[in-house]
């Protein structure tokens, strides 16, 4: 066996030993989930309660042009109320 295989086996054995002694799984794979903030109001409020989710839109137009404006709980939401310009960007 080369060094990489020895190290891999050592780490695997150590993980199994720790799991056995603690009676719990150290790492359990969970597939990534996608959440649509425009449709799930409760999650949107939870995610945006401490910071702006779309600062690129906020800095250009304020919260008026943001797609999650209706459910956003961001504290800076009330600061700027600019209307998006009617002129098309180049």
Q: What is the pLDDT of residue 33?
A: 87
pLDDT, tens digit only, all 90 positions of the chain: 566 666 666 677 777 777 777 777 666 677 888 889 889 999 999 988 888 888 888 888 778 888 888 888 888 876 655 565 666 665
Compute the distance between CA of residue 71 and CA of residue 44 in angstroms, rounded to an integer.
6
* Structural domains of the chain, count: 2
39 and 24 in one domain? no
pTM: 0.51
* 41 and 78 part of one domain: yes
- Determine the pLDDT at residue 69: 86
Q: What is the pLDDT, as a whole number, of residue 42?
A: 92
Q: Which domain holds residue 72?
A: 32-84
Q: Which residues fall within 8 angstroms of residue 18, CB to CB, at 6 or more apart?
A: 26
**Are 6 and 48 within one domain?**
no
Same domain, 4 and 41: no
Residue 62: predicted pLDDT: 77
Instruction: Let me know: does 53 contact 59? Beta carbons within 8 Å.
Output: no
CA distance 84 to 78: 16
Asked if residue 49 and residue 26 are part of one domain, the reply reads no
Query: 67 and 24: one domain?
Result: no
């Amino acid at each position: 066996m080369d060094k990489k295989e020895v190290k891999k086996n050592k780490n695997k054995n150590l993980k199994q030993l720790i799991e056995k002694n603690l009676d719990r799984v150290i790492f359990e794979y969970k597939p990534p989930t996608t959440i649509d903030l425009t449709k799930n109001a409760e999650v949107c409020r939870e995610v945006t309660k401490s910071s702006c989710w779309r600062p690129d839109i906020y800095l250009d137009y304020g919260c008026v042009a943001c797609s999650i404006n209706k459910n956003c709980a961001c504290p800076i939401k009330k600061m700027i109320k600019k209307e998006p310009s009617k002129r098309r960007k180049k």
